[in-house]
Amino acid sequence: MTQGELLASQLAETRNWLMMLLADFSGSDWTFQPAPGVQHALWLCGHMASSQNTLLFQRCLGRSEIDPEIGRHFRPGELVKSAKEYAWPSSGAVLTAMHALHEKSLAAVRGMSDAMLAEPAYGKDGGKHPHYDTKFGAISHMDRHEAFHAGQIAMLRRLLGKSFLR
């Protein structure tokens, strides 16, 4: 198994867990916020897709693959507005974009050679990221990032009264 195949396998398993956590979300579950400004599941999903685009396609492959209409809603670092004060895209649109980007990501990562994965991965400003130096590191971080946010969705599930999943 190549490093690219290993990374793709890890990304696929993390995504499978995330989708199990989201399987019974419907209606207002998607935009439930336990406090004002806190991320909701819809924002988290859009943010994960946008971050996957940045970490893999922009930093490693020098291009963008996300629909700009979806990506513009999910910039990090801002308070997340409620569904009453912001016209969020539908959960269907976000999930469609997220799935399409993930499939492109898996194919791209599987096709990356060990030599390519050892290359530096710089930000759009030309600087290093504080969590990694190489393309392998960027993709590994992409998996950790999704697992981190899946944990937040697991907490939202519990706050919504949904069952614990393992």
pLDDT at residue 69 is higher than 90: no
Quote the pLDDT of residue 153: 97
Residue 131 lies in a domain: yes
* Rg of the chain, C-alpha, whole Å: 16
Of 40, 48, 46, 55, give the one whose Cα is nearest residue 14. 48
Residue 166 lies in a domain: no
Q: What is the pLDDT of residues 94-148, one digit of tens each?
A: 999 999 999 999 999 999 999 999 999 877 677 777 788 999 999 999 999 999 9
Residue 105 lies in a domain: yes
pLDDT at residue 71 is higher than 90: no
* Average pLDDT value over all residues in the chain: 93
Quote the pLDDT of residue 124: 66
pLDDT at residue 77 is higher than 80: no
- Distance (Å, whole) CA 71 – CA 94: 9
What mean pLDDT do residues 26-44 have? 96
Residue 141 lies in a domain: yes
86 or 127, greater pLDDT: 86
30 or 121, greater pLDDT: 30
Residue 164 lies in a domain: no
Phi, psi values for residue 58, rounded to 5°: -80, -50
129 or 45, greater pLDDT: 45
Q: What is the CATH number of the domain that holds 54?
A: 1.20.120.450
Residue 89 lies in a domain: yes
Which DSSP string do the residues of 95-144 spell out, in sequence order?
Answer: HHHHHHHHHHHHHHHHT--HHHHTSB---TTSPPBTTBSBHHHHHHHHHH
In this prediction, residue 24 has a pLDDT band, given cuts at 50, 70 and 90, of very high
Domain count along the chain: 1
Of 109, 111, 33, 42, give the one whose Cα is nearest residue 70. 42
Quote the pLDDT of residue 166: 73
- Residue 16 belongs to what domain range? 3-159
Phi, psi values for residue 131, rounded to 5°: -105, -5
- Distance (Å, whole) CA 93 – CA 100: 11
Q: Work out whether the CA dihedral 53, 59, 63, 68 comes out positive or negative.
A: positive
